């Protein structure tokens, strides 16, 4: 039986109530650099919702893991945390890193993602005793948080950095996005996004985030050329908690899942070459079972209602076309790492068996962790 300090599911682990963070910093200016990517547009990432997360990865988040004694980091450690400078926000980043070390690894094994490569975690500490840097940069580039893989050809999944809310107030940016015409967002509010875009470009990933005392702002970048970058952002409140809420921890975990998704790259590309995070394929199984819908990123399969087979129906969501394939022609149809496989499946060597958590931390968590 799980104790009160162990998680029964990844969702429980990632939806704990956290104390508010007290900001004592003064108003300051953000760093600027004219060489950083410039945007033709910044928009709200409307697809980044709890509904879309639940449909695509809810089966992983809600699976019972109580037998594996996942010890939950306690948010009480954040009580009395105050921020005076940007570096103090790293304490919040460190909290997220602790959670990701557990939750991303479990999901990676659960879904059979990036087999043969271990996850890596680096974050710069508030006291500067450890400073993280991008492994992909030609010169040393410091960053507050890097989650990646021990793959020299693809070492970075997600990057992030912290800002005090006095220097970067995301609600003001959101209000600006709501009230101004597209392409008219300028000034101090955009500079941190340009800095993050530059970091993502160097890192080789389109997924990043900015952490403040009030929110974790997830970002996804695309580019149609110099000066034609686009940023899609979604602020997720720091104080959000509970299983019916999209929390900061769930948001960062989701970015990691998207970056590791099979059949998808995560580099910055043209927007039309990106797959939206709520897109599905319709797959024909056989005459008896008919069709199923399969999520483009998680590969989870669900029944396809009749409306899904009508290309003109709104039930098709945001799919660009009705993609109907025969299951026998797709690798996932016989994939032992299919997400529908249950925990402890004896026929799946990568499912979570009784020996998994005895060596998961020793084998998978590589050097570079600061904390």
Per-residue pLDDT of the chain in tens (371 residues, 90 and over written 9): 445 688 999 999 999 999 999 999 888 899 999 999 999 899 999 999 999 999 999 999 999 998 888 999 999 999 999 999 999 999 999 999 999 999 999 999 999 999 999 999 999 999 999 999 999 887 788 999 999 999 999 999 999 999 999 999 899 899 888 887 766 666 788 999 999 999 999 999 999 999 999 999 999 999 988 878 999 999 999 999 999 999 999 999 999 999 999 989 999 999 999 999 999 999 888 877 788 999 999 999 998 875 555 555 444 444 433 454 444 334 333 333 333 333 333 333 333 333 434 344 444 434 344 43
Specify the pTM.
Answer: 0.84
Helices 90-111 + 248-260 axis angle, to 10: 50
Per-residue pLDDT at 333: 33
Q: What are the residue boundaries of the structural domains of the chain, listed by start?
A: 10-273
Per-residue pLDDT at 322: 40
């Amino acid at each position: 039986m799980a104790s009160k300090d162990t998680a029964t599911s990844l969702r429980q682990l990632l939806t704990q109530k956290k104390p508010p963070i007290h900001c004592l910093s003064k108003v300051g200016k953000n760093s600027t650099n004219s060489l950083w990517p410039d945007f033709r547009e910044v928009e709200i990432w409307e697809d980044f919702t709890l509904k879309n997360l639940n449909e695509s990865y809810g089966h992983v988040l809600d699976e019972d893991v109580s037998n594996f004694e996942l010890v939950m980091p306690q948010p009480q450690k954040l009580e009395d945390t105050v921020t005076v400078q940007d570096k103090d926000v790293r304490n919040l980043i460190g909290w997220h890193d602790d959670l990701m070390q557990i939750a991303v690894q479990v999901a990676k094994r659960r879904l059979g993602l990036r087999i043969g490569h271990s996850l890596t975690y680096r974050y710069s500490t508030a006291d500067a005793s450890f400073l993280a840097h991008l492994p992909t940069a030609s010169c040393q580039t410091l960053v507050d948080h890097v989650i990646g893989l021990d793959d020299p050809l693809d070492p970075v999944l997600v990057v992030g950095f912290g800002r005090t809310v006095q220097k970067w107030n995301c609600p003001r940016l959101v209000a600006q996005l709501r009230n101004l015409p597209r392409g008219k967002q300028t000034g101090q509010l955009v500079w941190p996004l340009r800095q993050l875009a530059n970091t993502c470009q160097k890192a080789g990933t389109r997924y990043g985030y900015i952490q403040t005392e009030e929110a974790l702002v997830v970002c996804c970048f695309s580019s149609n050329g110099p000066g034609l970058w686009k940023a899609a952002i979604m602020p997720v409140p720091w104080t959000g908690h509970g299983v019916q809420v999209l929390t900061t921890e769930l948001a960062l975990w989701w970015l990691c899942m998207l970056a590791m998704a099979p059949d998808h790259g995560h580099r910055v590309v043209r927007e039309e070459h990106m797959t939206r995070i709520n897109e599905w394929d319709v797959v024909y199984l056989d005459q008896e079972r008919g069709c199923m819908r399969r999520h483009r990123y998680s590969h989870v399969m669900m029944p396809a209602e009749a409306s899904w087979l009508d290309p003109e129906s709104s039930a098709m969501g945001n799919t660009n076309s009705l993609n109907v394939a025969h299951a026998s022609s797709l690798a996932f149809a016989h994939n032992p790492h299919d997400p529908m496989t249950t925990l402890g499946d004896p026929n799946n060597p990568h499912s979570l068996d009784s020996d998994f958590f005895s060596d998961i931390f020793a084998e998978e968590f590589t050097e570079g962790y600061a904390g």
